[in-house]
Amino acid sequence: MQRTDPSNPPAALHLPTRHKPLFNLRHLLSGHRVLDLGSGTGLAGLSAAACGAHVLLTDLASVCDGTLRANVQRNALYATPNETASIRASVAASITSITSGSLATPSGTCMAVGDASADGVQCKEETGQQERRETTPGRFSGAWAGAVAVGQGSAAVMALDWTEPLEPQIQAGGNDPREADFILAVDTIWLLDIFHSFLDIVYAVLSHEPVTGVAAATAILPTLAVQPDGNERTHPVQRKRACFLAFVERAGVDAKLFVRKEAVEQELQNRGLDVDVVLAEDVDVDGVARPGRVLRVTMAN
């Protein structure tokens, strides 16, 4: 798997330009804790981390041990001792933005704030022969336990089986997925036999009362919104925990194994969740046009 470039992240965080969303997902996730469900190779989660999010990538233990942890390490940020303070300050700046109302810039540089010794220091890109630095729990407020720096953010890996009780997995994994601000779920729910278990996890996260600093913050944040004229402008909005769910319907006329898009929205609403369709368009799957959806799922008011 190729390494992610924070200045040019993969398309996983960019919706098609002909259907511009009403918000900028890259800016929305930056500096926040993100739970990536069904990470697979880690493309979506690593893209979010490269853009400044603190991501917990999760999948079955076999996937974590087979490819996911290795891919996270391939994308881990390298730092010389002289750059360590700069990297720490850049991550701290993302966290400070939650209460100060400022966000890291999307261009690949961010000014450090909240630490007079780092005033004016910019985030640096990876350079040359450098030494891998792994974060430790509590070093970066907002980073998950066991995380490594990736781009402008961080990434950690945890085995998570949706069909098993959550508490024992939290104890074994060292992180509580319910303490996420946002959920990413990309192409994870096409099979009926795991659909309801997936819904259980989403509801558990969105309904959980967080106890740690980043997830507990309720500050008003600036968010880039796309205006009718096509330009992006910053507006203060109340942050609300949300799941961004992207999937392609694979169910044919007589399909019994696959989830239909109507069932996805209906079952989410049956759980007391609000569903907004961010994007709806066909996706080419092996030469066949299949309905694609990106949903924003939140707790109902």
pLDDT of residue 70: 95
84 near 47, Cβ under 8 Å? no
Torsion on CA atoms 220, 241, 147, 153, rounded to nearest 10: -50
Question: At residue 134, what are phi and psi to the nearest 5 degrees?
Answer: -105, 135
The rounded mean pLDDT for the chain is 72
pLDDT of residue 3: 56
209-230 b/e (C-beta count within 10 Å ≥ 16 → b): ebeeebbebeeebebbbeeeee
Instruction: Tell me the per-residue pLDDT of 184-233, one tens digit each, with 9 for 90 and over.
Output: 999 887 777 788 899 999 999 999 985 554 444 433 344 444 444 555 55
pTM exceeding 0.85: no
pLDDT-above-90 percentage for the chain:
41
Domain range 11-299, CATH architecture: 3-Layer(aba) Sandwich (3.40)
pLDDT of residue 255: 63
pLDDT of residue 188: 86
Q: Is 143 left (phi over 0), alpha (psi -120 to 50) or beta?
A: beta
pLDDT of residue 192: 72
Taking the domains of the chain in order of start, what are their residue ranges? Answer: 11-299
Instruction: Tell me the per-residue pLDDT of 16-74, one tens digit each, with 9 for 90 and over.
Output: 444 555 568 888 999 999 999 999 999 999 999 999 999 999 999 999 999 999 999 99
Q: CA 89, CA 93: separation in Å to the nearest integer?
A: 6
pLDDT of residue 67: 95
Instruction: Tell me the per-residue pLDDT of 239-278, one tens digit each, with 9 for 90 and over.
Output: 589 999 998 887 666 666 677 888 888 889 999 999 999 9
Q: Residues 274-289: what's their mean pLDDT?
A: 88
pLDDT of residue 291: 84
The answer on pLDDT for 285 being more than 70 is: yes
The answer on pLDDT for 101 being more than 90 is: no
Q: Residues 124-132: what's their mean pLDDT?
A: 35
Lowest mean pLDDT among 1-5, 47-51, 137-141, 168-172: 137-141
pLDDT of residue 210: 59
pLDDT of residue 105: 30
Give bridge partners of residue 224 from the DSSP assignment.
Answer: 234
Lowest mean pLDDT among 56-65, 124-133, 138-147, 148-157: 124-133
